[in-house]
Structure 1
Amino acid sequence: MAEAYRYKVMQITPHDADLDAQVSTRGSQADLTAIKTKSDNLPADPASNTQVNTRVAASSYVAPDNAGISAIKAKTDNLPASPANEGAIQGHVADALAAYDPPTQAELEAAVSPLALEAGIEAHVLAVLNAYDPPSRAEAMTDKEAILAAIAALNDMSVGELLGGDLSDSLSFPANSLADLVRKLFWVVCNRMVIDDTTADFTVYKTDGVTRAATGTITDNGATTARGNPTWL
C-alpha cells in the first residue's frame, strides 16, 4: 500500500465541459492536411529577401514604365475628385447647360421664315407647269424627221460632194463611212509622208502638212520593201 500513496487520482470536475468543448472544436484532419499541403510549397525561408528576389526575377511580370504611369496619371488628373459621385456628375451637367445658349423663339422664326411653305411650293410648281409649252405631235414629228435627215446626211455623201472634193481636215465623218475612207486614201496617196531612216517609221500628214494623220513602219529584208498598215491618229 505504500506504493499506492505515491499516486494521487485527480478528478477534474468543475471544468470538464469547457475541456470537452475545446477538444471538440479543434481542426479536422482534412484542414490540417490542406494547411500542410500549402506550407510544403513555401520556400525554406519565406521571409528571405533572396528567396523573394529569385522568384520575382523568374516570373513573367513586367512592371509599367514611368512613361506609362505618367500617361495614366495625366488622364486621371482630368477626372473629378469622385468620378462615381452622382452629385459631381450633376454639377458638370449643370455647368454645361448653363453655358448653352439656345436660340430664342424670335431667332427661330427669323431663320425659318425665308423657307417656302407647302402652299408656296405648290404655287411655284403650278407656275412652272403653266409656263411650259410642250410640243404638239406634229411639231415632234417634224423635229424627228429633221433629226433623221441630219443623221442620214452624216452617213452618206452625195455624188456632187464627192466629186467636189470637199474632204477638208476640219470636217467630221463617221468612222469607216465612204467619206472617211476616201479622205484617208487621199491623205496617204497625195499628202506629205516622212520616213525616219533610223527607225524605218513613217508618218502621213493631213492636208495642212502639219497635223499627223497616220503612222506606220516600213520593213526591208534586202529583197523587198514593204509598208505596214497605217495606224490612224
Structure 2
Amino acid sequence: YRLGHHEATGVLTICAQLARAEVFVLRRGAAVVGTDELARKALIARFARLASQDLSLVFEGGVTGVMPVGATAAVGLADWSRAHLEAQLDGALADAIVRELAGVRLVVRSDLAPVAHDEADRRMLVAMAMPRRLDQIWPLARTPRFRLLSFVHFLRGIGALDVEGVVAEKSSPTRFPQQLPVDDRRVAALRMLGIEDEADLDTVKRAYRRLARALHPDLQPEVDVVRKRILERRFAEITAAYETLT
C-alpha cells in the first residue's frame, strides 16, 4: 500500500518461504505488466497468492532501466491493497471489530490516508480526521455499517489508523451497535442501507436508489478493474438488503 500511496517507481522483489523470488516493476505506484486485461488479471492473482504467505520485501527505488517495453497494463498497489483487505470482512469479523474498538477513539494518519474514491469515502475520512469513537463516526459518515467497518479494517491493515485513549466523553443519542444479531436479517439489511429500524417502505426505496446511483458499476465506466470489483460487491450487498426488506 505504501509504495502505491507514495507513487513509487522501481523494482519490488518479494520472497516467500520455499518459493522463488518474484519481481515486479513499479511505475508511479502501479505494477506494470503486458498490454492486455489477461495480463492484469494474472498479476492480480499473483498478488492475492503472495498476500496469504509470510513474505520478505526488497524495493529498489528509482530503477527505470527494466521497464517493460510497450507495457500498458498496470495494477495500482494502493487500490489493490484496499480491495484485498475490504474483501476479507464478513459478519463475524465486523462484530469482532466493533467489540475490540468499543470505547476507543480512532483517527486516520494524514500521511497514509487513502485517496477518496467517492463522497462516502470523503465523509468517512473527514469523520476520522480527529479522534472519535465508532458510535460518533457512524452518523457523521452517513454510510452503511458494513462499508464503514470494511474501511476501518482496511485502514488498520495498512497501519493508517491510530488509537487514542480507551474512554471518551458520553456519546450522542445515535449509538453504534455493539453486536448485530446474526439471525435478524431485517436489522442487518437496514444497517446495510443506513436507515433506522422504523423506516417505512418508501424510505427503504429512497435509500436503495440513492446507494444504487452511487455504487452501480455501469454508471462509473471510468473506474479501473480493481475499483469496479469493489463497486460490484457493494452493489450486490445493497441489492440483497433491499430484497430482504421488500
* TM, length-normalised to structure 1: 0.18
* TM, length-normalised to structure 2: 0.17
Q: Which has the higher contact order (CA 8 A, sep 6+)?
A: 2
- Higher Rg: 1
- Hey, which of these two has a bigger chunk of strand by percent? 2
